[in-house]
């Protein structure tokens, strides 16, 4: 599994693409114009604390106004119910177990910030030729212990409609009392977009490694929340500031977003009217970059066994799936297949005796029907995680073919039955080691 710590090859490739797209997207550029660069990551929390679990859960619900839990954010009467919900219980059980196994501190943020520093160094090199002045900040889809890097913290603080309670909970209603050191006004701060705007940027370019560079609804959430900030700013200032997400610079996900019912989100089920925009002509230059595949190839090679020939080695490229119903606008699985194919191609070029059929893809678990009690629940076979299905973009719940569409345990069985002597599991949607990585599998 690749653990990226400021990988120069990766960041150089990304920044090269960023500079090219700045020129391509920006049209006629003004010398010395300030350009904001928003580095978007998954995020998390360095240490396991109850407050961070509460904040993380609330942040996730904030992205979906149709989710029943969204109404809890600005309703003080229900703040103490958050940690009793399934998602919070899952986090507490999973993270209590995982953080103990990594000695209590998640390395993800440290690695991600080093990657950003490498990116800034490359931007400084590109600046002279491009004629821009770059201002850089970062946003996280989930940042329980770094509220100031939530894309729009005050969306959490103030009720959007003006009706309800400011989000100031510090655990006062919990059985074990208030959370030590908690700031009730932690959401009443500028986020990364506001900081960039106050530095005078004329445009913002977002570059995304949330799940290894593939387009995904989590980054779409960050971009859409950033646009809320921009709408408010642009209503009060002139000229308008725009944002471009270079992983989806043609705005495929926005153009493909369902039309009806109005205000649709995945929690409302499948839409009644979908835009159905073809994927062709709307590439993801990050996912297609061979340097990204080469990074993962290097990680896979590092886990080969010296005692086993490459022809007897099996590779499982294991990935996070898709939130159900989001296949109507989210091309995450299709982007993932591009990276998988590039990794496989490079491996076969470097190791001609490797068996092509021993390089396959897999996805994590999903709840299953328990025949004994009639409940849909987590099972031992799925390894305890519920991460959805790998639905292809704009498909009627269609999965990838067997080559890339196995479940984890089926992929293992497949390779064992083919007689491989050593199996390497890579995680192409991960470019920084974290507590989220499957361990002990």
SS3 7: coil
Cβ pair 332, 211 in contact under 8 A? yes
* Cβ neighbours, 10 Å, residue 6: 17
| Predicted local confidence at residue 30, as pLDDT | 56
Q: Give the count of beta carbons closer than 10 Å to the beta carbon of residue 362.
A: 21
Give the closest residue to 316 by CA, choosing from 363, 364, 360, 382: 360
Q: Are 359 and 347 in contact (CB under 8 A)?
A: yes
Contacts of residue 86, Cβ cutoff 8 Å, sequence gap at least 6: none
What is the per-residue pLDDT for 95?
87
Report residue 328 as tokens: 């109507």
Phi, psi of 425 (to 5 degrees): -110, 120
- Per-residue pLDDT for the chain (441 aa), expressed as one digit of tens each? 443 333 444 545 555 555 445 544 544 455 568 889 999 999 999 999 999 999 998 998 899 999 888 889 999 999 999 998 877 887 888 888 889 888 899 999 999 999 898 888 877 776 666 667 889 999 999 999 999 999 999 999 999 888 899 999 999 999 888 999 999 999 999 999 999 999 999 999 999 989 999 999 999 999 999 999 999 999 999 889 999 999 999 999 999 999 999 999 999 999 999 999 999 999 999 999 898 999 899 999 999 999 999 999 999 999 988 888 999 999 999 999 999 999 999 999 999 999 999 999 998 877 778 888 888 876 656 554 566 789 999 999 999 988 998 988 889 999 999 999 999 999 999 888 888 775 544
Read off φ and ψ for residue 330, nearest 5 degrees: -105, 115
Q: How far apart are CA 292 and CA 242, in angstroms?
A: 27
Q: H helices of 76-168, where? A: 86-101, 108-130, 153-157
Say what the pLDDT of residue 371 is: 85
Dist CA 35 CA 337 (whole Å): 32
The string of DSSP codes covering 363-384 is E----EE-TTT--EE--TTTTT
Residue 38 phi, psi (nearest 5): -105, 110
* Whole-structure pTM value: 0.90
* Three-class secondary structure of residue 359 per DSSP: strand
Shortest CA distance to 332 belongs to which of 409, 403, 394, 267?
394
Report pLDDT for 388.
Answer: 78
Fold of 8-261: Rossmann fold (3.40.50)
In the chain, which residues fall in CATH 3.40.50? Answer: 8-261
**Closest-CA residue to 395 (of 323, 338, 329):** 329
- Within 10 angstroms of residue 255's Cβ, the number of other Cβ atoms is 12
């Amino acid at each position: 599994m690749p653990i990226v710590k400021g990988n120069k090859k990766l960041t150089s490739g990304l920044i090269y693409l960023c500079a090219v797209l700045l020129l391509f997207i920006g049209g006629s550029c003004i010398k010395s114009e300030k350009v904001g660069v928003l580095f978007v990551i998954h995020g998390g929390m360095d240490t396991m604390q109850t407050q961070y679990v509460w904040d993380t859960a609330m942040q996730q619900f904030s992205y979906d106004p149709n989710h029943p839990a969204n109404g809890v954010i600005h309703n003080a009467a229900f703040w103490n119910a958050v940690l009793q919900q399934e998602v919070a219980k899952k986090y507490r059980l999973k993270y209590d177990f995982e953080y103990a196994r990594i000695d209590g501190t998640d390395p993800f943020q440290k690695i991600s910030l080093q990657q950003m520093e490498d990116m800034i160094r490359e931007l400084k090199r590109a600046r002279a030729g491009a004629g821009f002045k770059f201002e850089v900040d970062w946003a996280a889809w989930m940042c329980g212990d770094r509220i100031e890097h939530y894309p729009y913290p005050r969306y959490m603080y103030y009720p959007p409609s003006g009706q309800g309670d400011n989000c100031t909970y510090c655990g006062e209603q919990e059985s074990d009392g208030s959370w030590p050191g908690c700031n009730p006004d932690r959401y009443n701060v500028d986020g990364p977009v506001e900081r960039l705007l106050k530095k005078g940027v004329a445009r913002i370019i977002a570059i995304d490694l949330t799940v290894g560079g593939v387009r995904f609804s989590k980054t779409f959430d960050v971009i859409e929340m950033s646009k809320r900030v921009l709408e408010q700013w642009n209503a009060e200032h002139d000229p308008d500031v725009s944002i471009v997400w270079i992983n989806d610079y043609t705005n495929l996900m926005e153009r493909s977003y369902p039309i009806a019912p109005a205000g649709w989100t995945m929690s409302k089920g499948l839409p009644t009217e979908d835009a159905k925009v073809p994927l062709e002509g709307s590439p993801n230059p990050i996912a297609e970059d061979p340097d990204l595949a080469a990074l993962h190839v290097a990680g896979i090679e590092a886990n080969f066994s010296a005692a086993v020939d490459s022809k007897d080695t099996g590779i499982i490229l294991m990935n996070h799936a898709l939130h159900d119903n989001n296949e109507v606008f989210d091309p995450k699985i299709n982007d993932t297949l591009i990276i998988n194919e590039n990794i496989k191609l490079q491996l076969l070029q470097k190791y001609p005796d490797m068996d092509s059929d021993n390089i396959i893809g897999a996805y994590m678990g999903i709840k299953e029907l328990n025949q004994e009690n009639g409940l849909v629940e987590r099972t031992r076979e799925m390894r305890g995680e519920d991460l959805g299905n790998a639905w292809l973009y704009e498909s009627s719940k269609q999965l990838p073919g067997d080559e890339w569409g196995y479940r984890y345990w089926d992929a293992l069985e497949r390779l064992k039955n083919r007689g491989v002597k050593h199996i390497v599991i890579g995680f192409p949607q991960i470019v920084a080691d974290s507590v989220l990585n499957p361990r002990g599998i």
